[in-house]
Amino acid sequence: MNDRPRPFDLIVFDWDGTLCDSTALIVRCIQAACRDLGVPEPTDRAAAQVIGLSLGNALREAVPSLDDARYTQLVERYRHHYFGNNHGVALFDGVLDMLATLRARHHWLAVATGKSRRGLSEALQACGLNAVFDATRTAEETASKPHPMMLLELMREFGADPERTLMIGDTSHDLLLAANAGVAAVAVSYGAHDAASLAALNPRHLAHDVADLHQWLRENT
């Protein structure tokens, strides 16, 4: 694979807010879990900022100063709301065509996400993508973003070099994950984090919709 003229062999996507239009649902579920426990709700922006982290880490950042027992309850209530309402979540328009283009060009495709394995498995099944990705990693199986372990494990699985690996995500956690693993990164501004905070981390490209991302991938991978 390293003899190919294209610069990237392995392309790794974040899930929520990058491929799947789920940011608003996650924010609502964090807030609903807080209401269930009678603790202050984070604002929409504060809740969106923690998307991409493992669930436990995300809730600790979104709702600081609870004791451990209360965080366990908060996780349980979040999962209750999320799995009770995730049936309507869909891929962003254009994602299927983009993934088909990359598959046709024989890239390895992977997902690195802060979701649980159950959450990702159900999402892939619902979207008909089980056969599209060559590998996936979730936060409950390895270290949470921005620790580089997810990408290091994926690169090791395929024998991909860091300089021939690309990470694509909608949060600063994704871009820092890429930086910590020594791989290139592309950001998308239509997910959880705003364009200014993403641009400050100097991604190779900042895509403002899936069509923009698809075009960049056609021209640069």
Q: Is 36 a catalytic residue?
A: no
Strand ranges for the chain from DSSP E = 10-13, 108-113, 135-138, 165-169, 184-188, 206-207
* Options 16, 21, 170, 174, the catalytic residue: 16
**β-strand partners of 165:** 10
Angle separating helix axes 23-37 and 68-85, nearest 10 degrees: 130
Q: Is 14 a catalytic residue?
A: yes
Burial class (CB in 10 A: 0-12, 13-18, 19+), 187: buried
* Options 3, 9, 14, 209, the catalytic residue: 14
8 A C-beta contact, residue 203 and residue 185: yes
8 A C-beta contact, residue 45 and residue 51: no
Q: Which residues does the annotation mark as catalytic?
A: 14, 16
